[in-house]
Chains A and B, each alone.
Chain A
Amino acid sequence: MTINETQDQVIEEFSEFSDWMDKYAYLIDLGNSLDPIDEKAKIPQNLIEGCQSRVWLDAAENDGKVVFTAESDAVIVKGIISLLIRVMSGHTPDEILEAELYFIDQIGLKEHLSPTRANGLLSMVKQIKLYALAFKAKS
């Protein structure tokens, strides 16, 4: 599935929630079931310090594709991380660099990627692209 196909799939899933409470309950579920990041990867270099919550992001290259793992101390942030990983992980550096993330906006979670939220998510998206750039330069 391409990045955009996954984005469209997420948008489709979220369109079923009529109520914000259901949406957040789903994000909490996603957050709770996100695979934890390897404890060894919870190092300062992987930490994105937000004012409100913290995000750890790690990346590895596997067969020309970038695989991301990430975690946060806040569950809602973890839920959004889970969506970002689902969309962005497992693609080539070029695909990741070219990707335009429109699903966050469409599912009504744009505020969580605003610089004023200071929850680490905006920096995480930037960091995802930087990882892709780094892997591209290496190959």
Chain B
Amino acid sequence: MDTTLDIAAIRADFPILSRTVYDRPLVYFDNAATSQKPRCVVEAIEKVYYNQNANIHRGVHYLSQVATEAHEEARQTVQAFINAAESREIIFTRGTTEAINLVATSFGETFCNEGDEILITGMEHHANIVPWQLLRDRKGIVLKVVPFNERGELDMEAFSQLLSPKTKLVSVAHISNVMGTVNPVAKIIAEAHAYNIPVLVDGAQAVSHMPVDVQALDADFYVFSGHKMYGPNGIGVLYGKEKWLEQLPPYHGGGEMIATVTYEKTTYAELPFKFEAGTPDYVGSVALAEAIRYMQKFGLKAIGDYEHQLLQYATEQLMKIDGMRIFGTAAEKASVISFLVRDIHHFDMGTLLDKLGIAVRTGHHCAMPLMHTLGIEGTIRASFAFYNTKEEIDALVAAVDRVQKMF
């Protein structure tokens, strides 16, 4: 592999990668579900709890000040990471799912009426389908779906045709969690904006694999999860343009998000606090910022380039296996490979790969409508991170070949 990254040194930063399963070295290829954590991220969590734990924004005491500053610095780190214009445009959520639910609820309640349309694509994760269906049940909106071609690329002509005066929002995955397709979100946004339609980008699969600049994209909302980008579980981000966030009502009510409360009337806090009811995850935010710094040490471009080489190598090697069927062969593709061998069931293949120490995801990957479109029940999915190696891919390919011969 042609890279300036010192992969052996990077692997040493992730203690879990040196463990064994069933007495075999762990090969972890389930990164699209969650990534492993470098030592610095786990230590950041420990440091907060051991040295600066106090509830934020409330106390005048020293520790509360320190904790508040750390949380707000983390917000600025996230802001710089995706190049948002203002730190108040960064809302901490529990993850991508909560971020989309927030928009579906607050935006939906404000801007959507019966008969209005929300446009999603045929390759969305359930997290970008179900919140809109809930909105449909509440408000009578219509959910429209952009189809994709046999390579797993969006049908952009269909997209153009599906945009209508009734479209209130376009909500699209930056990268498909099943097929790895990198969707042309800049083009989608530009086209939607021509009709003044805002766009939400689900960046859960993108932010750890490529540089993301929300201003260059001109995204109205951009959402992602900490745990898929080497950060902790339970924290995620909603980026929203200030002009939109200002217009949206709060999602949850409680402490932290208010200005004044009387029984007659409550006024809300300014951005970003309006959307962060209750005690925020000020431990998760600090650890997330650490994960961002960790990735930035290597550079998202270098990370993405190396992962792309892993993807190409894995694709070439897997295709040598007789009966290999890869789902998703888009020209622009991230390091995710979904496959089946002949008609061997994904559960059978996954069970035996597991016994060989290889962690892959099997099933519908929270994208059942996509599976229906492909006419299958599920796939085996190998997804790579920049701590993975060519040798691990060789182990995967050898294991898949060994297992397929058993059927």
Contacts and interface: CB of A to CB of B under 8 A. Distances in A.
Interface of A: 20-21, 24-25, 28, 51-54, 73-77, 119
A25 B351 CA distance: 12
B362 interface: yes
Contacts of A24: 351-352, 355, 406
**Interface residue tally of chain B, by bracket?**
10 to 19
Given A52-B362, A52-B378, A77 B347 contact: yes
Interface of B: 344-348, 350-352, 355, 362-364, 377-378, 406-407
Name which of A28, A74, A77 has the most chain B CB atoms within 10 A of its CB. Answer: A74
Contacts of A54: 377
Given A73-B345, A75-B348, A119-B347, 15 more contacts: A20-B355, A21-B355, A24-B355, A25-B406, A28-B348, A52-B346, A52-B363, A53-B345, A54-B377, A74-B346, A75-B345, A75-B407, A76-B348, A76-B351, A77-B347
A28 B350 CA distance: 14
Contacts of B407: 28, 75
A51 B363 contact: yes
A129 B24 CA distance: 38
Contact of A74 (B348, B355, B406): B348
Contacts of B378: 52
Nearest to B364: A51
B404 to A, nearest CB: 12
Contact of B345 (A20, A25, A51, A74): A74
Contacts of A76: 347-348, 351-352
A24 B356 CA distance: 12
Which 9 A/B pairs are nearest by Cβ-Cβ distance?
A74-B345, A74-B347, A53-B347, A52-B347, A76-B348, A74-B348, A75-B348, A52-B363, A76-B351
Contacts of B355: 20-21, 24
A11 B189 CA distance: 61
A76 B351 CA distance: 9
19 contacts: A21-B355, A21-B406, A24-B351, A24-B406, A28-B348, A28-B406, A28-B407, A51-B363, A52-B346, A52-B362, A52-B363, A73-B345, A73-B377, A74-B345, A74-B347, A75-B348, A76-B351, A77-B347, A77-B348
Contacts of A51: 363-364
Contacts of A77: 347-348
Contacts of A53: 345, 347
Nearest to A119: B347
Contacts of B362: 52
